[in-house]
Amino acid sequence: MRKRVNGAVFGAFALMLPGACFAPAHLPSEDAAAREVITPGLLPLSQVIARMEAQPAQPALVPGLEARAAALNARAAQLRGQGMSAADRQAMLAMQARHR
């Protein structure tokens, strides 16, 4: 019985294999415009690093980040002063120490 089942499975597989080797007819043909799309070329990593180092730094980002950090620190200071008991403060400091 087992040999007959294996033979049937093999036969079904052998019949389906040629059908899987051909492209399905229901798919659309390739678009000519897709061939004309410009794709970026691959560059060696050394060239990418050299280009990155050659670009000037963008100092306009730094003041914005510093202002945001200052605002977040001010908000944190405000939150620290809002009714935290000594036991809660100790628990928070211990938790911070564990995660550093």
- Computed on alpha carbons and rounded to an integer, the radius of gyration of the chain in Å comes to 33
Residue 24 sits at φ, ψ, to 5 deg, of -70, 140
Diameter over CA atoms, the chain: 80
Rounded Cα distance between 8 and 2, Å, is 10
* pLDDT at residue number 91: 92
- CA–CA separation, 56 vs 64, rounded Å? 18
Q: Where are the domains of the chain?
A: 70-100
Q: Mean pLDDT throughout 40-57?
A: 87
Per-residue model confidence as pLDDT tens digits over 7-34: 777 777 777 777 777 766 676 677 777 7
Whole-number pLDDT of residue 5: 61
